[in-house]
Chains A and B, each alone.
Chain A
Amino acid sequence: QQPVQSPQAVILREGEDAVINCSSSKALYSVHWYRQKHGEAPVFLMILLKGGEQKGHDKISASFNEKKQQSSLYLTASQLSYSGTYFCGTEGAGGTSYGKLTFGQGTILTVHP
C-alpha cells in the first residue's frame, strides 16, 4: 500500500515554515524523501532508517518515528527554490519488502515572494 502524505498542498511566503507528514499502515525499515520540480526527475533529499532518527541539512530536516510508522519533513525559512512536489518513499520491514520502495501521492509546495 502507498504511504499517505499530508497535506496535499501547501502555499507559503518566503521565510515561512512547513511540515509535510508521511504515514504508513505497515512496519517500516526506511523512509526516503525526494523533491520533484515540474517536468524533471525527482531528486533525493534524505533517507531515515529504522531506529528512529532525525536528519537534516541546511534548513530541511526530517524525523522518523518507527513505532508510529510515520515520518515528517520540516522546511524552515522557506526559499523560492523549495517549490516543487515532495514525495516520501517507504520500504517495509520484512523479507518480501526488501528493496521495494513505495511512494506516497506527493505534497505540492508553492513558495511565493
Chain B
Amino acid sequence: DGGITQSPKYLFRKEGQNVTLSCEQNLNHDAMYWYRQDPGQGLRLIYYSQIVNDFQKGDIAEGYSVSREKKESFPLTVTSAQKNPTAFYLCASSILTTLATNEKLFFGSGTQLSVL
C-alpha cells in the first residue's frame, strides 16, 4: 500500500538533545512538508521541499533542520535551540503539477514529541 510513514509515534527529548523524526513516502510525490500542531494554533509550517537536495523555510523554522537527500525521505531534526519542542509533528507530501501548484496533501500519522 502506498502512503506516508512517520516514526516514531512517540518521542521524548532530554534537555540539550537533538532528536530526529523520520518521514518516508512511497507515493512518488515531489513535495514534502513538515507541520507542527499545537492546541488552538492549527498546523504551522516548519519546512517544505519540492525537489531533492532543495528545501525552504516555512513560518517557524528556527530550531529545526531538514534534509532531502532522497525523493522518498524528508527527516526533521529538532535541535537543542528549539526551546519549546513539545508538540504533535505531521509530515505530508503532494504531487506538484504545472497546472495546479498544489495537489492535495497526504499526511502521515504524526509523531508526538515531549520534553523530559
Contact = CB atoms under 8 A, between A and B. Distances in A.
B110 interface: yes
B109 A100 contact: no
Nearest to A104: B42
Interface magnitude class on chain A: 20 to 34
B77 to A, nearest CB: 21
B23 interface: no
Nearest to A42: B107
A49 B17 CA distance: 43
B102 A47 contact: yes
A37 B30 CA distance: 27
Given A30-B102, A47-B104, 17 more contacts: A2-B44, A29-B101, A30-B101, A41-B110, A42-B90, A42-B107, A44-B105, A47-B103, A91-B101, A98-B50, A99-B101, A100-B45, A100-B56, A101-B102, A105-B41, A105-B42, A106-B42
Interface of A: 2, 5, 29-30, 32, 34, 40-44, 47, 49, 87, 89, 91, 98-106
